[in-house]
Structure 1
Amino acid sequence: MSRSVGPHTADPCPRCRVEAVRTGVPTTAEGREAVGYLCEQCTNAWTRPVEEDLEAYDIVRVDLPGATLYGTVRQVEGDRVQVGGTGGQWLLWAERRQVILY
C-alpha cells in the first residue's frame, strides 16, 4: 500500500516491501512502453506498463519530479494527458508514462 511522504507518494518494492519514492525511467517490457523502477534497498528491478486506455473522467495519480498529484483526466492526446485537480484547483499536461490509473 502506498503512503504519503511530503509532497510525494511512496510505493513499496514488490520484493522487500520497503516503501520509497522512486523516479521511474522510460523503458520497454514485453514489447510495450513501460516505466522501470529500481529498489535501492534490495536492488530489485521491476516495470509497470504505460497506461494505454486512459479516457476522460478516469481518476489518476500523476508522478511529477516535484510532487505526486491525484486528479481526473480531462483530455488524452497521443503521449500526453491533461489532468485536473478536484474543484479546479489545478490543470496540467503530463507525459502518459507519469500517469497511473486508479
Structure 2
Amino acid sequence: MEIAALLFLLLLLPSFIKTIALHLLFFDFGSGEILLIVLAAFLIFGPSKIPEIARGLGKFINDIKRASEDIKTEINREGDRQDREKRLAEYKAKVEQDLKPNEEGASIQRPIKKD
C-alpha cells in the first residue's frame, strides 16, 4: 500500500520533486518520510527556490555517479594492464626457455666440419 501511495504522489508532484523523491527512494526512505522532506523544503525554501535546489542536487548526484564510474573504469584498466604484463612476462620466459640450447640436444648433434 505504501508503494502505491508513493507512486500516486509521484504522479502528482512536479518533475523536479519527482527527481528528489526517486533519489531518496535509493536511501530506503518511506513515502511518509519523503513527503515530510518535501513539505519541509517547501516551508523552508519556498516554491520558487525548489527547482534551483533540485537542479543543484541533480547535478551533484550526477557528478558523484560520474566520478564513481571513472574510478571503476580506472581500476579495471589497471587490473587489465597488470594481467597483460603478467602474461607477457610468462610468455617471454617460455620463449627464452625454448630458445636456450638444450643439453640433451648438444650430445646428439654432430660437430660441424669445414670442408
Q: What TM-score do the two structures reach when normalised by structure 2?
A: 0.19
Q: Which has the larger radius of gyration?
A: 2
Structure with more of its chain in strand, by fraction: 1
Greater relative contact order structure (CA < 8 Å, 6+ sep):
2
